[in-house]
Structure 1
Amino acid sequence: MLNGAHIILYSADAEADRAFIRDVFGFAGVDAGSGWLIFKLPPTEIAVHPTDGVGHYEFYLICDDIEKTLTKLAAQGVTISQPISDRRWGLIASIKLPSGSDLPLYQPRHPTAYDLEN
Protein backbone atom coordinates (compact mmCIF):
# COMPACT_ATOMS: atom_id res chain seq x y z
CA MET A 1 0.00 0.00 0.00
CA LEU A 2 1.42 3.46 0.86
CA ASN A 3 5.12 3.49 1.67
CA GLY A 4 6.11 7.14 2.01
CA ALA A 5 5.32 10.78 1.31
CA HIS A 6 6.67 13.17 -1.30
CA ILE A 7 6.84 16.79 -0.17
CA ILE A 8 7.42 19.63 -2.63
CA LEU A 9 8.84 22.99 -1.57
CA TYR A 10 8.44 25.68 -4.22
CA SER A 11 11.41 28.01 -4.37
CA ALA A 12 12.50 31.16 -6.17
CA ASP A 13 16.03 29.69 -6.15
CA ALA A 14 15.60 25.90 -6.16
CA GLU A 15 19.26 25.16 -6.88
CA ALA A 16 20.45 27.17 -3.86
CA ASP A 17 17.80 25.67 -1.58
CA ARG A 18 18.70 22.14 -2.75
CA ALA A 19 22.36 22.80 -1.95
CA PHE A 20 21.36 24.17 1.46
CA ILE A 21 19.30 21.07 2.29
CA ARG A 22 22.15 18.82 1.14
CA ASP A 23 25.04 20.74 2.72
CA VAL A 24 23.54 22.26 5.89
CA PHE A 25 21.03 19.59 6.91
CA GLY A 26 23.16 16.77 5.48
CA PHE A 27 20.15 14.98 3.98
CA ALA A 28 21.15 12.25 1.54
CA GLY A 29 19.56 12.40 -1.87
CA VAL A 30 19.43 11.03 -5.35
CA ASP A 31 19.77 12.88 -8.62
CA ALA A 32 16.51 12.39 -10.51
CA GLY A 33 18.21 13.88 -13.59
CA SER A 34 20.03 17.10 -14.46
CA GLY A 35 20.87 17.89 -10.83
CA TRP A 36 17.24 17.61 -9.69
CA LEU A 37 17.87 16.30 -6.17
CA ILE A 38 15.28 14.29 -4.26
CA PHE A 39 16.15 14.04 -0.55
CA LYS A 40 15.58 11.30 1.94
CA LEU A 41 13.96 12.78 5.01
CA PRO A 42 14.05 11.56 8.57
CA PRO A 43 10.92 9.75 9.76
CA THR A 44 7.85 11.82 8.95
CA GLU A 45 4.38 12.12 10.42
CA ILE A 46 1.11 13.72 9.35
CA ALA A 47 -1.53 15.51 11.41
CA VAL A 48 -4.95 16.72 10.26
CA HIS A 49 -6.30 19.90 11.85
CA PRO A 50 -9.83 21.28 11.45
CA THR A 51 -10.52 24.40 9.38
CA ASP A 52 -13.57 26.44 8.48
CA GLY A 53 -12.35 27.07 4.95
CA VAL A 54 -10.47 25.31 2.22
CA GLY A 55 -7.65 23.14 3.48
CA HIS A 56 -4.02 24.08 3.07
CA TYR A 57 -0.68 22.51 3.91
CA GLU A 58 2.16 23.45 6.24
CA PHE A 59 5.60 21.88 6.51
CA TYR A 60 7.80 21.84 9.62
CA LEU A 61 11.06 20.04 10.29
CA ILE A 62 10.97 18.40 13.74
CA CYS A 63 13.86 18.53 16.18
CA ASP A 64 14.50 17.18 19.68
CA ASP A 65 16.14 20.36 21.03
CA ILE A 66 15.26 23.52 19.12
CA GLU A 67 17.74 25.74 21.00
CA LYS A 68 20.64 23.41 20.24
CA THR A 69 19.49 23.04 16.62
CA LEU A 70 19.27 26.80 16.07
CA THR A 71 22.67 27.36 17.70
CA LYS A 72 24.25 24.77 15.39
CA LEU A 73 22.53 26.22 12.29
CA ALA A 74 23.52 29.80 13.23
CA ALA A 75 27.14 28.63 13.59
CA GLN A 76 26.87 27.43 9.97
CA GLY A 77 25.75 30.90 8.89
CA VAL A 78 22.03 30.14 8.72
CA THR A 79 19.75 33.12 9.41
CA ILE A 80 17.14 32.63 12.12
CA SER A 81 14.10 34.46 10.71
CA GLN A 82 11.72 33.82 13.61
CA PRO A 83 13.07 33.29 17.11
CA ILE A 84 11.70 30.55 19.32
CA SER A 85 8.05 30.96 20.14
CA ASP A 86 6.64 29.00 23.06
CA ARG A 87 3.27 27.47 22.26
CA ARG A 88 1.18 25.19 24.45
CA TRP A 89 1.92 22.23 22.15
CA GLY A 90 5.59 22.92 21.44
CA LEU A 91 8.34 25.35 20.50
CA ILE A 92 8.60 26.77 16.97
CA ALA A 93 11.09 28.94 15.10
CA SER A 94 11.97 29.60 11.46
CA ILE A 95 15.15 29.79 9.44
CA LYS A 96 15.77 31.44 6.07
CA LEU A 97 16.52 29.34 3.03
CA PRO A 98 18.88 30.86 0.45
CA SER A 99 15.83 31.68 -1.72
CA GLY A 100 14.49 33.90 1.07
CA SER A 101 11.69 31.52 2.05
CA ASP A 102 11.11 30.71 5.69
CA LEU A 103 11.36 27.09 6.82
CA PRO A 104 9.75 26.39 10.21
CA LEU A 105 11.32 24.13 12.83
CA TYR A 106 9.29 22.49 15.57
CA GLN A 107 10.05 20.84 18.92
CA PRO A 108 6.84 19.09 19.98
CA ARG A 109 5.75 18.72 23.58
CA HIS A 110 3.18 16.02 22.77
CA PRO A 111 3.84 12.37 21.91
CA THR A 112 4.93 11.92 18.31
CA ALA A 113 4.49 9.09 15.85
CA TYR A 114 8.14 8.21 16.49
CA ASP A 115 7.11 7.08 19.97
CA LEU A 116 5.39 4.12 18.29
CA GLU A 117 8.81 2.71 17.33
CA ASN A 118 9.99 2.41 20.95
Structure 2
Amino acid sequence: MINGAHLLLFSRDAERDRAFLRDVLGFDAVDAGDGWLIFGLPPAELATHPTQGEPTCELYLMCDDIAVTIGELQESGVEITRPVSNEGWGLLTALRLPSGAEIGLYEPKHPRPAGM
Protein backbone atom coordinates (compact mmCIF):
# COMPACT_ATOMS: atom_id res chain seq x y z
CA MET A 1 0.00 0.00 0.00
CA ILE A 2 1.25 3.50 -0.78
CA ASN A 3 1.99 5.37 2.45
CA GLY A 4 3.22 8.76 1.28
CA ALA A 5 4.62 10.90 -1.50
CA HIS A 6 8.11 12.26 -2.17
CA LEU A 7 8.15 15.56 -4.05
CA LEU A 8 11.22 16.86 -5.87
CA LEU A 9 12.06 20.52 -6.17
CA PHE A 10 14.79 21.12 -8.75
CA SER A 11 16.78 24.22 -7.86
CA ARG A 12 19.57 26.38 -9.27
CA ASP A 13 20.57 27.19 -5.67
CA ALA A 14 19.66 24.10 -3.63
CA GLU A 15 21.56 25.17 -0.50
CA ARG A 16 19.69 28.47 -0.19
CA ASP A 17 16.34 26.86 -1.00
CA ARG A 18 16.99 24.14 1.62
CA ALA A 19 17.80 26.83 4.20
CA PHE A 20 14.60 28.68 3.23
CA LEU A 21 12.45 25.56 3.64
CA ARG A 22 14.05 24.82 7.01
CA ASP A 23 14.51 28.32 8.49
CA VAL A 24 11.70 30.40 6.97
CA LEU A 25 8.92 27.88 6.34
CA GLY A 26 9.91 25.84 9.40
CA PHE A 27 9.79 22.39 7.80
CA ASP A 28 11.53 19.70 9.87
CA ALA A 29 14.33 17.91 8.05
CA VAL A 30 16.66 14.96 8.40
CA ASP A 31 20.10 14.76 6.86
CA ALA A 32 20.15 11.82 4.45
CA GLY A 33 23.93 12.17 4.17
CA ASP A 34 26.38 14.87 3.11
CA GLY A 35 23.94 17.66 3.96
CA TRP A 36 21.22 16.28 1.67
CA LEU A 37 18.11 17.34 3.59
CA ILE A 38 14.80 15.49 3.34
CA PHE A 39 11.92 17.63 4.60
CA GLY A 40 8.77 16.53 6.33
CA LEU A 41 5.72 18.24 4.90
CA PRO A 42 2.27 19.00 6.24
CA PRO A 43 -0.58 16.71 5.16
CA ALA A 44 -1.12 16.79 1.41
CA GLU A 45 -3.84 16.27 -1.14
CA LEU A 46 -3.67 15.50 -4.85
CA ALA A 47 -5.89 16.75 -7.66
CA THR A 48 -5.82 15.77 -11.33
CA HIS A 49 -6.70 18.55 -13.77
CA PRO A 50 -7.43 18.03 -17.48
CA THR A 51 -5.13 19.73 -19.98
CA GLN A 52 -4.82 20.06 -23.74
CA GLY A 53 -1.13 20.93 -23.35
CA GLU A 54 1.86 19.02 -22.02
CA PRO A 55 1.20 17.13 -18.78
CA THR A 56 3.00 18.77 -15.84
CA CYS A 57 3.15 18.69 -12.04
CA GLU A 58 2.89 21.74 -9.81
CA LEU A 59 3.46 22.34 -6.10
CA TYR A 60 1.16 24.50 -3.99
CA LEU A 61 1.53 25.04 -0.26
CA MET A 62 -1.76 25.46 1.60
CA CYS A 63 -2.70 27.67 4.54
CA ASP A 64 -5.77 28.42 6.65
CA ASP A 65 -5.65 32.22 6.25
CA ILE A 66 -3.79 33.59 3.22
CA ALA A 67 -3.66 37.20 4.47
CA VAL A 68 -2.08 36.18 7.79
CA THR A 69 0.33 33.76 6.08
CA ILE A 70 1.42 36.40 3.55
CA GLY A 71 2.05 38.84 6.39
CA GLU A 72 4.18 36.30 8.27
CA LEU A 73 6.15 35.41 5.15
CA GLN A 74 6.77 39.05 4.25
CA GLU A 75 7.97 39.74 7.81
CA SER A 76 10.57 37.01 7.14
CA GLY A 77 11.63 38.75 3.92
CA VAL A 78 9.79 36.43 1.53
CA GLU A 79 8.75 37.96 -1.79
CA ILE A 80 5.10 37.39 -2.74
CA THR A 81 5.13 37.31 -6.53
CA ARG A 82 1.44 37.45 -7.46
CA PRO A 83 -1.50 39.38 -6.06
CA VAL A 84 -4.06 37.16 -4.34
CA SER A 85 -6.74 36.00 -6.75
CA ASN A 86 -10.02 34.29 -5.95
CA GLU A 87 -10.18 31.22 -8.14
CA GLY A 88 -13.46 29.93 -6.66
CA TRP A 89 -11.78 26.78 -5.31
CA GLY A 90 -9.45 28.94 -3.22
CA LEU A 91 -7.47 32.15 -2.78
CA LEU A 92 -4.21 31.89 -4.75
CA THR A 93 -0.83 33.63 -4.73
CA ALA A 94 2.82 32.59 -5.08
CA LEU A 95 6.08 33.08 -3.24
CA ARG A 96 9.65 33.24 -4.50
CA LEU A 97 12.36 30.86 -3.30
CA PRO A 98 15.91 32.18 -2.93
CA SER A 99 16.83 30.38 -6.18
CA GLY A 100 14.22 32.43 -8.06
CA ALA A 101 11.73 29.58 -8.46
CA GLU A 102 8.10 30.17 -7.48
CA ILE A 103 5.85 28.00 -5.34
CA GLY A 104 2.10 28.46 -5.30
CA LEU A 105 0.34 29.25 -2.02
CA TYR A 106 -3.38 28.98 -1.51
CA GLU A 107 -6.16 29.01 1.02
CA PRO A 108 -8.52 26.23 -0.06
CA LYS A 109 -12.23 26.93 -0.31
CA HIS A 110 -13.09 23.52 -1.75
CA PRO A 111 -14.16 20.50 0.32
CA ARG A 112 -11.15 18.76 1.90
CA PRO A 113 -10.49 15.02 2.26
CA ALA A 114 -10.85 13.51 5.73
CA GLY A 115 -7.76 13.91 7.86
CA MET A 116 -6.84 17.28 6.41
Corresponding position of 1:84? 84
TM-score after normalising by structure 1? 0.93
1:53 positional shift = 3.7
| 1:27-59 per-position Cα deviation (integer Å, ceiling 9, x unaligned) | 101101111100000001111111224421111
RMSD: 1.2
One-letter amino acid of the structure 2 residue matched with residue 10 of structure 1: F
Identity fraction in percent: 54
Aligned 1:59-74 pairs, distance under 5 A: 59-74=59-74
Does 1:42 pair with 2:39? no
One-letter amino acid of the structure 2 residue matched with residue 85 of structure 1: S
Structure 1: 4+ residue segments shifted above 6 A: none
Give the Cα–Cα distance (whole angstroms) in 2 for the partners of residues 72 and 54 of structure 1. Answer: 35
Unaligned regions of 5+ residues in structure 2, if any? none
Aligned residue for 1:30, secondary structure, equals strand
One-letter amino acid of the structure 1 residue matched with residue 66 of structure 2: I
Aligned residue for 1:83, secondary structure, equals strand
One-letter amino acid of the structure 1 residue matched with residue 14 of structure 2: A
One-letter amino acid of the structure 2 residue matched with residue 8 of structure 1: L
One-letter amino acid of the structure 1 residue matched with residue 29 of structure 2: G
Give the Cα–Cα distance (whole angstroms) in 1 for the partners of residues 95 and 51 of structure 2. Answer: 26
Aligned residue for 1:70, secondary structure, equals helix
1:103 positional shift = 1.1
Unaligned regions of 5+ residues in structure 1, if any? none
Does 1:15 pair with 2:11? no
Give the Cα–Cα distance (whole angstroms) in 1 for the partners of residues 78 and 2 of structure 2. Answer: 35
Does 1:117 pair with 2:112? no
Corresponding position of 1:26? 26
Give the Cα–Cα distance (whole angstroms) in 1 for the partners of residues 100 and 27 of structure 2. Answer: 20
Corresponding position of 1:105? 105
